[in-house]
Homo-oligomer: A and B are copies of this chain.
Amino acid sequence: MPSRPVSDRWRIRPRTTVDLAAIDPGTKAGAPGDKLATKDASAVLRARLAELQARLYAEGSRSLLVVLQAMDAGGKDGTVRAVFEGVNPQGVRVASFKAPTAQELAHDFLWRIHAQAPGDGEIAVFNRSHYEDVLVVRVHGLVGEDVVRARFRRIRAFEELLVGEGTTVVKIMLHISPEEQRTRLQERVDDPAKRWKFNAADLAEREHWDAYQRAFEDAIAATTTRDAPWYVVPGDRNWYRNWAVLNILVDTLERLDPQYPPAPAGVEGTVVE
Contact = CB atoms under 8 A, between A and B. Distances in A.
B86 A90 contact: no
A111 interface: no
A197 to B, nearest CB: 8
Interface residues of A, number: 45
Given A198-B263, A198-B264, A203-B273, 5 more contacts: A85-B88, A86-B86, A195-B260, A200-B267, A206-B272
Which residue, of A59, A77, A196, A198, has the highest number of chain B Cβ atoms within 10 A? A196
B267 A189 contact: yes
Interface string A248-273: 00000000000011111011111111
A228 to B, nearest CB: 23
Interface of A: 58-60, 77, 80-81, 84-90, 92-94, 96, 125, 127, 182, 185-186, 189, 192-193, 195-198, 200, 203, 206, 260-264, 266-273
A122 to B, nearest CB: 10
A272 B89 contact: no
Contact of A89 (B84, B186, B262): B84
A185 to B, nearest CB: 4
Given A186-B271, A260-B195, A272-B186, A96 B92 contact: no
Contact of A195 (B89, B96, B198, B263): B263
A81 to B, nearest CB: 5
Contacts of A92: 89
5 nearest interchain CB pairs? A185-B272, A58-B196, A90-B94, A186-B272, A84-B89
Contacts of A85: 85-89
Contacts of A273: 182, 203
